[in-house]
Structure 1
Amino acid sequence: MPGARRSSTGSILVLVLLLSGLAFLAGLYLGSKYQAPAPLEAPATYAGVRVKIINDRDYYPTLLDLLSKANKSIYIAMFEFKSDTDEISRIVEILISKAKRGVDVKVVLENTIDVNELTYRRLLDNGVSVRFDTRAKTTHAKLVIVDGRYVIVGSHNWSYMAMMRNHEASVLIDNPEIAAADASYFMSIWRGE
Protein backbone atom coordinates (compact mmCIF):
# COMPACT_ATOMS: atom_id res chain seq x y z
CA MET A 1 0.00 0.00 0.00
CA PRO A 2 2.81 2.46 -0.64
CA GLY A 3 0.62 4.40 -3.08
CA ALA A 4 -2.10 4.91 -0.46
CA ARG A 5 0.46 6.33 1.94
CA ARG A 6 1.71 8.86 -0.64
CA SER A 7 -1.87 9.87 -1.42
CA SER A 8 -2.59 10.42 2.29
CA THR A 9 0.64 12.41 2.73
CA GLY A 10 -0.15 14.43 -0.37
CA SER A 11 -3.64 15.23 0.92
CA ILE A 12 -2.23 16.41 4.23
CA LEU A 13 0.34 18.57 2.46
CA VAL A 14 -2.35 20.16 0.28
CA LEU A 15 -4.51 20.78 3.36
CA VAL A 16 -1.60 22.38 5.26
CA LEU A 17 -0.76 24.61 2.29
CA LEU A 18 -4.39 25.59 1.86
CA LEU A 19 -4.78 26.47 5.56
CA SER A 20 -1.49 28.38 5.55
CA GLY A 21 -2.66 30.37 2.54
CA LEU A 22 -5.98 31.18 4.20
CA ALA A 23 -4.21 32.25 7.39
CA PHE A 24 -1.90 34.49 5.34
CA LEU A 25 -4.84 36.09 3.53
CA ALA A 26 -6.73 36.57 6.79
CA GLY A 27 -3.65 38.24 8.25
CA LEU A 28 -3.44 40.61 5.29
CA TYR A 29 -7.11 41.47 5.59
CA LEU A 30 -7.09 41.93 9.36
CA GLY A 31 -3.77 43.75 9.23
CA SER A 32 -5.29 46.38 6.99
CA LYS A 33 -8.08 46.88 9.55
CA TYR A 34 -5.69 47.21 12.51
CA GLN A 35 -5.18 50.62 14.00
CA ALA A 36 -2.42 51.17 16.50
CA PRO A 37 -3.61 52.54 19.83
CA ALA A 38 -3.23 56.24 20.42
CA PRO A 39 0.04 57.14 22.10
CA LEU A 40 -0.15 57.33 25.86
CA GLU A 41 -0.17 60.70 27.48
CA ALA A 42 2.81 61.51 29.60
CA PRO A 43 2.18 60.26 33.13
CA ALA A 44 1.30 62.81 35.77
CA THR A 45 4.15 64.01 37.91
CA TYR A 46 3.50 64.56 41.58
CA ALA A 47 5.85 66.42 43.88
CA GLY A 48 6.59 65.00 47.27
CA VAL A 49 5.44 61.45 46.61
CA ARG A 50 6.62 58.91 49.13
CA VAL A 51 6.35 55.26 48.15
CA LYS A 52 6.95 52.18 50.26
CA ILE A 53 7.15 48.77 48.60
CA ILE A 54 5.09 46.27 50.59
CA ASN A 55 5.58 42.86 49.05
CA ASP A 56 4.55 39.48 50.40
CA ARG A 57 4.25 39.42 54.22
CA ASP A 58 5.14 43.11 54.65
CA TYR A 59 1.64 44.05 53.47
CA TYR A 60 -0.35 42.83 56.48
CA PRO A 61 1.42 44.77 59.27
CA THR A 62 1.57 47.87 57.06
CA LEU A 63 -2.17 47.62 56.40
CA LEU A 64 -3.06 47.09 60.07
CA ASP A 65 -0.94 50.08 61.08
CA LEU A 66 -2.49 52.32 58.44
CA LEU A 67 -6.08 51.30 59.22
CA SER A 68 -5.50 51.65 62.96
CA LYS A 69 -4.29 55.23 62.53
CA ALA A 70 -7.16 56.33 60.24
CA ASN A 71 -9.25 59.14 61.69
CA LYS A 72 -11.24 60.58 58.75
CA SER A 73 -11.89 58.02 56.02
CA ILE A 74 -11.16 54.51 54.79
CA TYR A 75 -12.22 53.58 51.25
CA ILE A 76 -11.68 50.02 50.06
CA ALA A 77 -12.31 48.31 46.73
CA MET A 78 -11.42 44.65 47.04
CA PHE A 79 -11.75 41.69 44.71
CA GLU A 80 -11.56 39.07 47.48
CA PHE A 81 -12.03 39.77 51.21
CA LYS A 82 -12.06 36.35 52.84
CA SER A 83 -12.40 36.94 56.58
CA ASP A 84 -12.30 33.32 57.73
CA THR A 85 -9.02 33.45 59.68
CA ASP A 86 -7.95 35.40 62.75
CA GLU A 87 -5.55 37.55 60.72
CA ILE A 88 -8.14 38.69 58.21
CA SER A 89 -10.89 38.94 60.84
CA ARG A 90 -8.67 41.48 62.58
CA ILE A 91 -9.08 43.76 59.56
CA VAL A 92 -12.87 43.45 59.81
CA GLU A 93 -12.72 44.31 63.52
CA ILE A 94 -10.67 47.44 62.82
CA LEU A 95 -13.10 48.59 60.11
CA ILE A 96 -16.09 48.06 62.42
CA SER A 97 -14.35 49.89 65.26
CA LYS A 98 -13.42 52.81 63.02
CA ALA A 99 -16.96 53.11 61.62
CA LYS A 100 -18.39 53.15 65.17
CA ARG A 101 -15.98 55.99 66.03
CA GLY A 102 -17.25 58.10 63.13
CA VAL A 103 -14.61 57.36 60.50
CA ASP A 104 -16.19 57.29 57.02
CA VAL A 105 -15.64 53.64 56.10
CA LYS A 106 -16.81 52.50 52.67
CA VAL A 107 -16.13 49.04 51.22
CA VAL A 108 -16.91 47.75 47.72
CA LEU A 109 -16.58 44.02 47.16
CA GLU A 110 -16.66 41.97 43.96
CA ASN A 111 -20.10 40.40 43.64
CA THR A 112 -19.04 37.15 41.95
CA ILE A 113 -16.74 35.94 44.76
CA ASP A 114 -18.75 33.73 47.14
CA VAL A 115 -16.38 34.18 50.10
CA ASN A 116 -17.10 37.92 50.08
CA GLU A 117 -20.63 37.23 51.34
CA LEU A 118 -19.48 36.45 54.90
CA THR A 119 -17.41 39.63 55.09
CA TYR A 120 -20.23 41.66 53.55
CA ARG A 121 -22.68 40.41 56.21
CA ARG A 122 -20.27 41.03 59.11
CA LEU A 123 -19.55 44.57 57.96
CA LEU A 124 -23.17 45.43 57.16
CA ASP A 125 -24.50 43.98 60.43
CA ASN A 126 -22.00 46.13 62.34
CA GLY A 127 -22.73 49.48 60.73
CA VAL A 128 -20.07 49.64 58.02
CA SER A 129 -21.13 51.06 54.64
CA VAL A 130 -20.51 48.13 52.33
CA ARG A 131 -21.86 47.09 48.96
CA PHE A 132 -21.22 44.73 46.13
CA ASP A 133 -20.11 46.19 42.83
CA THR A 134 -22.42 46.37 39.87
CA ARG A 135 -22.92 43.14 37.96
CA ALA A 136 -22.02 44.98 34.76
CA LYS A 137 -18.34 45.05 35.71
CA THR A 138 -15.84 43.05 37.72
CA THR A 139 -14.10 44.88 40.53
CA HIS A 140 -10.67 43.30 40.37
CA ALA A 141 -9.07 46.26 42.15
CA LYS A 142 -7.17 45.91 45.39
CA LEU A 143 -7.34 49.53 46.49
CA VAL A 144 -7.24 51.18 49.92
CA ILE A 145 -7.40 54.96 50.47
CA VAL A 146 -6.98 56.34 53.98
CA ASP A 147 -7.58 59.88 55.25
CA GLY A 148 -7.29 61.43 51.79
CA ARG A 149 -3.54 60.95 51.95
CA TYR A 150 -2.48 57.31 51.77
CA VAL A 151 -3.10 54.76 49.01
CA ILE A 152 -2.30 51.07 49.00
CA VAL A 153 -2.58 49.46 45.60
CA GLY A 154 -1.22 46.23 44.21
CA SER A 155 -1.93 42.54 43.89
CA HIS A 156 -2.87 41.60 47.47
CA ASN A 157 -6.40 40.33 47.94
CA TRP A 158 -7.54 40.28 51.55
CA SER A 159 -7.19 36.59 52.24
CA TYR A 160 -4.85 34.50 54.33
CA MET A 161 -3.19 33.07 51.22
CA ALA A 162 -2.50 36.50 49.71
CA MET A 163 -1.18 38.03 52.92
CA MET A 164 0.64 35.10 54.48
CA ARG A 165 1.64 32.68 51.71
CA ASN A 166 1.62 34.01 48.14
CA HIS A 167 4.13 36.17 46.34
CA GLU A 168 2.31 39.48 46.05
CA ALA A 169 3.48 42.97 45.11
CA SER A 170 1.90 46.18 46.38
CA VAL A 171 2.90 49.74 47.26
CA LEU A 172 1.92 52.28 49.88
CA ILE A 173 1.80 55.80 48.45
CA ASP A 174 1.81 58.88 50.66
CA ASN A 175 0.50 61.77 48.57
CA PRO A 176 -2.79 63.73 48.85
CA GLU A 177 -3.06 64.37 45.09
CA ILE A 178 -2.77 60.69 44.23
CA ALA A 179 -5.14 59.81 47.07
CA ALA A 180 -7.68 62.33 45.71
CA ALA A 181 -7.44 60.87 42.20
CA ASP A 182 -7.89 57.34 43.52
CA ALA A 183 -10.72 58.45 45.83
CA SER A 184 -12.51 59.86 42.80
CA TYR A 185 -12.05 56.53 41.02
CA PHE A 186 -13.25 54.65 44.11
CA MET A 187 -16.38 56.80 44.33
CA SER A 188 -17.21 55.98 40.71
CA ILE A 189 -17.12 52.28 41.66
CA TRP A 190 -19.14 53.04 44.80
CA ARG A 191 -21.81 54.74 42.67
CA GLY A 192 -21.90 51.73 40.34
CA GLU A 193 -20.47 53.48 37.31
Structure 2
Amino acid sequence: MSREPALRGMTIVLAAWAFAAAPGWAAAPTEPAWVEARVADASDRAYESSAIWLIDGARRSVVLSLYLLRDSDDPRHPVSRLLQDLVEARQRGVEVTVYLNTKFYDEEPQVSLQTPGLRRLTAAGVRLIAWPSHRTVHDKLLIVDARYVLEGSSNWTVGALRVNGESNTLVDSPALAKAKLVRLQAWSQPAHAPANTPARGPEVPMAVPAAWLAKDGALTRLIAGQEDRAFKTLLLLFWEMRGQGTEEFFVDLEALGRDLGMPAAWDAATTRRQVIKVLRILADEARVLGVRFAFGRDAWVKFRVPPGATVDVPPALVGGLAFQ
Protein backbone atom coordinates (compact mmCIF):
# COMPACT_ATOMS: atom_id res chain seq x y z
CA MET A 1 0.00 0.00 0.00
CA SER A 2 1.39 3.42 -0.87
CA ARG A 3 2.11 6.12 1.67
CA GLU A 4 -0.87 8.36 2.49
CA PRO A 5 -0.80 11.58 0.46
CA ALA A 6 -0.02 14.70 2.50
CA LEU A 7 -3.49 16.10 3.13
CA ARG A 8 -3.27 19.65 4.40
CA GLY A 9 -4.08 19.96 8.09
CA MET A 10 -5.92 23.23 7.72
CA THR A 11 -9.58 23.12 6.78
CA ILE A 12 -10.37 24.90 3.56
CA VAL A 13 -13.59 25.70 1.77
CA LEU A 14 -14.21 23.91 -1.50
CA ALA A 15 -16.90 24.68 -4.06
CA ALA A 16 -19.14 21.80 -5.09
CA TRP A 17 -20.76 23.39 -8.08
CA ALA A 18 -24.48 23.00 -8.69
CA PHE A 19 -25.30 20.64 -11.55
CA ALA A 20 -28.22 19.71 -13.78
CA ALA A 21 -29.37 16.12 -14.23
CA ALA A 22 -28.94 16.47 -18.00
CA PRO A 23 -26.57 19.42 -18.51
CA GLY A 24 -26.92 19.93 -22.24
CA TRP A 25 -27.10 23.71 -21.73
CA ALA A 26 -25.11 26.14 -19.65
CA ALA A 27 -26.82 26.96 -16.36
CA ALA A 28 -27.44 30.49 -15.16
CA PRO A 29 -24.83 31.65 -12.60
CA THR A 30 -25.68 30.52 -9.07
CA GLU A 31 -23.97 30.62 -5.69
CA PRO A 32 -21.82 27.49 -5.28
CA ALA A 33 -22.82 24.91 -2.68
CA TRP A 34 -19.75 25.25 -0.46
CA VAL A 35 -18.42 22.34 1.58
CA GLU A 36 -15.49 21.94 3.98
CA ALA A 37 -12.60 19.71 2.98
CA ARG A 38 -8.95 18.74 3.36
CA VAL A 39 -7.05 18.67 0.09
CA ALA A 40 -3.76 17.40 -1.29
CA ASP A 41 -2.18 17.94 -4.67
CA ALA A 42 -2.07 14.72 -6.72
CA SER A 43 -0.74 16.08 -9.99
CA ASP A 44 1.52 14.42 -12.53
CA ARG A 45 3.21 11.26 -11.20
CA ALA A 46 1.50 11.62 -7.81
CA TYR A 47 -1.84 10.63 -9.32
CA GLU A 48 -1.04 6.94 -9.72
CA SER A 49 0.27 6.50 -6.17
CA SER A 50 -2.73 8.42 -4.79
CA ALA A 51 -5.16 6.19 -6.71
CA ILE A 52 -3.39 3.05 -5.48
CA TRP A 53 -3.44 4.31 -1.88
CA LEU A 54 -7.17 4.99 -2.11
CA ILE A 55 -8.15 1.71 -3.76
CA ASP A 56 -5.93 -0.44 -1.54
CA GLY A 57 -7.35 1.21 1.54
CA ALA A 58 -11.00 1.07 0.46
CA ARG A 59 -13.30 -0.55 3.01
CA ARG A 60 -16.79 -0.11 1.59
CA SER A 61 -16.94 1.29 -1.92
CA VAL A 62 -14.97 2.41 -4.94
CA VAL A 63 -16.66 4.40 -7.72
CA LEU A 64 -14.74 5.28 -10.87
CA SER A 65 -16.00 7.40 -13.77
CA LEU A 66 -13.67 7.83 -16.74
CA TYR A 67 -13.70 9.37 -20.18
CA LEU A 68 -10.86 7.19 -21.44
CA LEU A 69 -9.42 3.88 -20.21
CA ARG A 70 -6.70 2.11 -22.20
CA ASP A 71 -5.24 -1.02 -20.62
CA SER A 72 -3.19 -3.96 -21.87
CA ASP A 73 -2.98 -7.72 -21.41
CA ASP A 74 0.50 -7.11 -19.96
CA PRO A 75 0.19 -7.15 -16.14
CA ARG A 76 3.10 -4.69 -15.91
CA HIS A 77 1.11 -2.00 -17.73
CA PRO A 78 0.22 0.80 -15.23
CA VAL A 79 -3.47 0.76 -16.13
CA SER A 80 -3.59 -3.02 -15.85
CA ARG A 81 -2.10 -2.70 -12.36
CA LEU A 82 -4.78 -0.19 -11.35
CA LEU A 83 -7.49 -2.49 -12.69
CA GLN A 84 -5.97 -5.37 -10.73
CA ASP A 85 -6.25 -3.22 -7.60
CA LEU A 86 -9.97 -2.85 -8.36
CA VAL A 87 -10.28 -6.62 -8.74
CA GLU A 88 -8.53 -7.17 -5.41
CA ALA A 89 -10.78 -4.60 -3.73
CA ARG A 90 -13.82 -6.48 -5.00
CA GLN A 91 -12.34 -9.74 -3.69
CA ARG A 92 -12.11 -8.09 -0.24
CA GLY A 93 -15.85 -7.43 -0.36
CA VAL A 94 -15.67 -3.79 -1.46
CA GLU A 95 -18.45 -2.65 -3.80
CA VAL A 96 -16.77 -1.49 -7.00
CA THR A 97 -18.59 0.45 -9.74
CA VAL A 98 -17.00 1.71 -12.94
CA TYR A 99 -18.72 4.20 -15.27
CA LEU A 100 -17.21 4.50 -18.75
CA ASN A 101 -17.70 6.95 -21.58
CA THR A 102 -18.41 5.24 -24.91
CA LYS A 103 -18.63 8.22 -27.25
CA PHE A 104 -15.49 8.57 -29.35
CA TYR A 105 -15.05 9.97 -32.84
CA ASP A 106 -12.59 7.29 -33.96
CA GLU A 107 -14.22 4.04 -32.85
CA GLU A 108 -17.53 2.30 -32.33
CA PRO A 109 -19.05 2.53 -28.81
CA GLN A 110 -18.56 -1.14 -27.95
CA VAL A 111 -14.88 -1.24 -28.95
CA SER A 112 -13.85 0.69 -25.82
CA LEU A 113 -15.49 -1.98 -23.65
CA GLN A 114 -13.71 -4.98 -25.19
CA THR A 115 -10.40 -4.84 -23.33
CA PRO A 116 -8.68 -7.57 -21.28
CA GLY A 117 -8.81 -5.52 -18.10
CA LEU A 118 -12.50 -4.74 -18.34
CA ARG A 119 -13.27 -8.39 -18.92
CA ARG A 120 -11.35 -9.16 -15.72
CA LEU A 121 -13.38 -6.58 -13.84
CA THR A 122 -16.65 -8.08 -15.03
CA ALA A 123 -15.51 -11.59 -14.12
CA ALA A 124 -14.61 -10.38 -10.62
CA GLY A 125 -18.09 -8.97 -10.05
CA VAL A 126 -17.31 -5.30 -10.63
CA ARG A 127 -20.37 -3.35 -11.74
CA LEU A 128 -19.57 -1.88 -15.17
CA ILE A 129 -21.85 0.87 -16.49
CA ALA A 130 -21.40 2.19 -20.03
CA TRP A 131 -22.78 5.65 -20.58
CA PRO A 132 -25.07 5.92 -23.64
CA SER A 133 -23.00 6.65 -26.74
CA HIS A 134 -25.09 9.67 -27.74
CA ARG A 135 -23.56 11.77 -24.94
CA THR A 136 -19.93 12.42 -24.03
CA VAL A 137 -19.03 11.98 -20.36
CA HIS A 138 -15.62 13.57 -19.78
CA ASP A 139 -15.07 12.51 -16.15
CA LYS A 140 -11.75 11.62 -14.55
CA LEU A 141 -13.23 10.85 -11.14
CA LEU A 142 -12.48 8.36 -8.37
CA ILE A 143 -14.58 8.25 -5.17
CA VAL A 144 -13.68 5.93 -2.30
CA ASP A 145 -15.75 5.06 0.78
CA ALA A 146 -18.07 8.02 0.06
CA ARG A 147 -15.34 10.21 1.56
CA TYR A 148 -12.33 10.64 -0.70
CA VAL A 149 -12.52 12.27 -4.13
CA LEU A 150 -9.63 12.13 -6.60
CA GLU A 151 -10.37 14.28 -9.62
CA GLY A 152 -8.58 16.24 -12.31
CA SER A 153 -7.30 15.77 -15.85
CA SER A 154 -5.88 12.22 -15.71
CA ASN A 155 -7.49 9.52 -17.80
CA TRP A 156 -6.39 5.94 -17.17
CA THR A 157 -3.83 5.70 -19.96
CA VAL A 158 -0.09 5.16 -19.87
CA GLY A 159 0.43 8.67 -21.22
CA ALA A 160 -1.60 10.29 -18.45
CA LEU A 161 -0.04 8.16 -15.70
CA ARG A 162 3.60 8.21 -16.78
CA VAL A 163 4.24 10.97 -19.35
CA ASN A 164 1.82 13.90 -19.53
CA GLY A 165 1.55 16.90 -17.29
CA GLU A 166 -1.74 16.31 -15.45
CA SER A 167 -3.37 18.47 -12.77
CA ASN A 168 -5.27 16.50 -10.10
CA THR A 169 -6.53 17.08 -6.56
CA LEU A 170 -7.26 14.62 -3.77
CA VAL A 171 -10.09 15.79 -1.52
CA ASP A 172 -11.14 14.41 1.86
CA SER A 173 -14.77 15.50 2.15
CA PRO A 174 -17.82 13.27 2.70
CA ALA A 175 -20.04 16.18 1.65
CA LEU A 176 -18.29 16.60 -1.69
CA ALA A 177 -18.20 12.83 -2.24
CA LYS A 178 -21.95 12.69 -1.64
CA ALA A 179 -22.59 15.46 -4.17
CA LYS A 180 -20.45 13.65 -6.76
CA LEU A 181 -22.24 10.35 -6.16
CA VAL A 182 -25.65 11.99 -6.44
CA ARG A 183 -24.55 13.51 -9.75
CA LEU A 184 -23.48 10.12 -11.11
CA GLN A 185 -26.76 8.56 -10.06
CA ALA A 186 -28.70 11.38 -11.70
CA TRP A 187 -26.72 11.04 -14.92
CA SER A 188 -27.26 7.29 -15.00
CA GLN A 189 -31.06 7.49 -14.73
CA PRO A 190 -31.74 8.27 -18.42
CA ALA A 191 -29.51 5.37 -19.49
CA HIS A 192 -32.51 3.04 -19.81
CA ALA A 193 -34.65 5.59 -21.66
CA PRO A 194 -34.60 5.99 -25.45
CA ALA A 195 -31.36 7.67 -26.44
CA ASN A 196 -33.16 10.43 -28.34
CA THR A 197 -35.30 11.54 -25.39
CA PRO A 198 -34.94 15.34 -25.24
CA ALA A 199 -33.24 16.62 -22.14
CA ARG A 200 -34.25 20.20 -21.50
CA GLY A 201 -37.10 22.61 -22.11
CA PRO A 202 -39.75 24.84 -20.56
CA GLU A 203 -42.22 23.35 -18.10
CA VAL A 204 -44.42 26.43 -17.62
CA PRO A 205 -45.89 28.98 -20.05
CA MET A 206 -43.22 31.16 -21.63
CA ALA A 207 -43.69 34.80 -22.66
CA VAL A 208 -42.63 35.34 -26.28
CA PRO A 209 -42.85 38.52 -28.37
CA ALA A 210 -46.39 39.05 -29.64
CA ALA A 211 -44.89 40.18 -32.94
CA TRP A 212 -43.76 36.61 -33.59
CA LEU A 213 -47.41 35.48 -33.57
CA ALA A 214 -48.71 38.32 -35.72
CA LYS A 215 -49.97 37.65 -39.26
CA ASP A 216 -46.48 37.81 -40.75
CA GLY A 217 -44.58 36.99 -37.55
CA ALA A 218 -41.72 34.54 -37.28
CA LEU A 219 -43.63 31.76 -35.51
CA THR A 220 -46.63 32.21 -37.79
CA ARG A 221 -44.45 31.88 -40.90
CA LEU A 222 -42.72 28.77 -39.53
CA ILE A 223 -46.09 27.13 -38.84
CA ALA A 224 -47.41 28.05 -42.29
CA GLY A 225 -44.25 26.67 -43.90
CA GLN A 226 -44.52 23.47 -41.87
CA GLU A 227 -41.06 24.12 -40.45
CA ASP A 228 -41.84 22.09 -37.35
CA ARG A 229 -38.24 21.51 -36.30
CA ALA A 230 -37.33 25.19 -36.74
CA PHE A 231 -40.43 26.16 -34.74
CA LYS A 232 -39.35 23.92 -31.87
CA THR A 233 -35.77 25.15 -32.07
CA LEU A 234 -36.82 28.78 -31.85
CA LEU A 235 -38.87 28.19 -28.70
CA LEU A 236 -36.16 26.05 -27.14
CA LEU A 237 -33.42 28.60 -27.82
CA PHE A 238 -35.64 31.45 -26.62
CA TRP A 239 -36.21 29.55 -23.37
CA GLU A 240 -32.45 29.11 -23.04
CA MET A 241 -31.91 32.82 -23.72
CA ARG A 242 -34.27 33.74 -20.91
CA GLY A 243 -32.51 31.33 -18.54
CA GLN A 244 -29.07 32.74 -19.34
CA GLY A 245 -30.23 36.34 -19.15
CA THR A 246 -28.46 37.32 -22.37
CA GLU A 247 -29.51 37.58 -26.01
CA GLU A 248 -26.27 36.01 -27.26
CA PHE A 249 -24.67 32.73 -26.22
CA PHE A 250 -23.00 29.56 -27.51
CA VAL A 251 -24.89 26.30 -28.07
CA ASP A 252 -23.60 22.75 -28.48
CA LEU A 253 -24.95 21.51 -31.81
CA GLU A 254 -25.12 17.86 -30.77
CA ALA A 255 -26.83 18.68 -27.46
CA LEU A 256 -29.40 20.79 -29.31
CA GLY A 257 -30.00 17.90 -31.70
CA ARG A 258 -30.70 15.56 -28.80
CA ASP A 259 -33.04 18.07 -27.22
CA LEU A 260 -34.92 18.26 -30.51
CA GLY A 261 -35.36 14.48 -30.54
CA MET A 262 -33.22 13.78 -33.58
CA PRO A 263 -32.74 10.04 -34.20
CA ALA A 264 -30.19 8.35 -31.95
CA ALA A 265 -29.05 6.28 -34.96
CA TRP A 266 -27.62 9.42 -36.59
CA ASP A 267 -23.92 9.93 -36.13
CA ALA A 268 -22.58 13.18 -34.66
CA ALA A 269 -21.79 14.73 -38.04
CA THR A 270 -25.30 14.08 -39.39
CA THR A 271 -26.90 15.55 -36.27
CA ARG A 272 -24.75 18.67 -36.51
CA ARG A 273 -25.58 19.14 -40.20
CA GLN A 274 -29.31 18.97 -39.49
CA VAL A 275 -29.06 21.43 -36.60
CA ILE A 276 -27.01 23.83 -38.75
CA LYS A 277 -29.71 23.62 -41.41
CA VAL A 278 -32.38 24.56 -38.86
CA LEU A 279 -30.35 27.44 -37.44
CA ARG A 280 -29.85 28.83 -40.94
CA ILE A 281 -33.62 28.81 -41.44
CA LEU A 282 -34.05 30.81 -38.26
CA ALA A 283 -31.31 33.22 -39.29
CA ASP A 284 -31.94 33.66 -43.02
CA GLU A 285 -35.67 33.05 -43.42
CA ALA A 286 -37.30 33.76 -40.06
CA ARG A 287 -34.68 36.42 -39.27
CA VAL A 288 -35.06 36.02 -35.52
CA LEU A 289 -31.39 35.51 -34.73
CA GLY A 290 -27.87 35.84 -36.00
CA VAL A 291 -25.71 32.73 -36.06
CA ARG A 292 -22.03 32.00 -36.41
CA PHE A 293 -20.54 28.51 -36.47
CA ALA A 294 -17.31 27.60 -34.67
CA PHE A 295 -15.34 24.63 -36.01
CA GLY A 296 -18.54 22.76 -36.89
CA ARG A 297 -19.34 21.68 -33.32
CA ASP A 298 -20.64 24.83 -31.63
CA ALA A 299 -22.67 27.80 -32.74
CA TRP A 300 -22.89 31.33 -31.43
CA VAL A 301 -26.41 32.76 -31.63
CA LYS A 302 -27.68 36.27 -31.02
CA PHE A 303 -31.41 36.87 -30.81
CA ARG A 304 -33.19 39.73 -32.52
CA VAL A 305 -36.04 40.24 -30.06
CA PRO A 306 -38.69 42.70 -31.26
CA PRO A 307 -39.90 45.23 -28.69
CA GLY A 308 -43.47 45.42 -27.49
CA ALA A 309 -46.05 43.15 -25.88
CA THR A 310 -45.57 39.47 -25.14
CA VAL A 311 -47.83 36.42 -25.30
CA ASP A 312 -47.65 33.35 -23.04
CA VAL A 313 -46.91 30.19 -25.02
CA PRO A 314 -47.63 26.85 -23.31
CA PRO A 315 -45.03 24.08 -23.56
CA ALA A 316 -47.55 21.89 -25.37
CA LEU A 317 -47.48 24.31 -28.31
CA VAL A 318 -44.04 22.97 -29.20
CA GLY A 319 -45.91 20.12 -30.84
CA GLY A 320 -45.14 16.99 -28.92
CA LEU A 321 -41.52 17.66 -27.98
CA ALA A 322 -41.16 15.69 -24.74
CA PHE A 323 -39.56 18.29 -22.51
CA GLN A 324 -38.40 17.07 -19.10
Q: Is 2:103–2:134's contact at 8 Å kept on the other side of the alignment?
A: no
Higher relative contact order (CA 8 A, sep 6+): 1
Q: Which residue of 2 aligns with 1:87?
A: 78
Three-state SS of the structure 2 residue aligned to 1:94 is helix
Aligned pairs for 1:22-171 within 5 A: 40-47=29-36, 49-84=37-72, 86-112=77-103, 114-118=111-115, 119-171=117-169
Q: CA deviation at 1:61?
A: 0.5
Q: Which has the larger radius of gyration?
A: 1
Deviates more, 1:131-140 or 1:111-120: 111-120
Aligned AA (1:188): A
Three-state SS of the structure 2 residue aligned to 1:45 is strand
Three-state SS of the structure 2 residue aligned to 1:89 is helix
Inter-partner Cα distance in structure 2 for 1:132 and 1:38: 26
Question: Percent of pairs identical after alignment?
Answer: 30
Three-state SS of the structure 2 residue aligned to 1:180 is helix
Q: Which runs of 5+ in 2 are unaligned?
A: 1-25, 105-110, 192-324
Inter-partner Cα distance in structure 1 for 2:121 and 2:190: 19
Q: Identify if the C-alpha distance between structure 1 residues 112 and 45 changes in structure 2 by more than 3 Å, giving closer, same or farther.
A: closer
Aligned positions, number: 156
CA RMSD in angstroms comes to 1.8
Q: CA deviation at 1:78?
A: 0.5
Q: Which runs of 5+ in 1 are unaligned?
A: 1-36
Inter-partner Cα distance in structure 2 for 1:139 and 1:38: 17
TM-score after normalising by structure 1: 0.74
Q: CA deviation at 1:136?
A: 2.7
Three-state SS of the structure 1 residue aligned to 2:114 is helix
TM-score after normalising by structure 2: 0.45
The structure with the greater share of residues assigned to helix is 1
Q: CA deviation at 1:38?
A: 7.0
Inter-partner Cα distance in structure 2 for 1:140 and 1:54: 19
Aligned AA (2:51): L
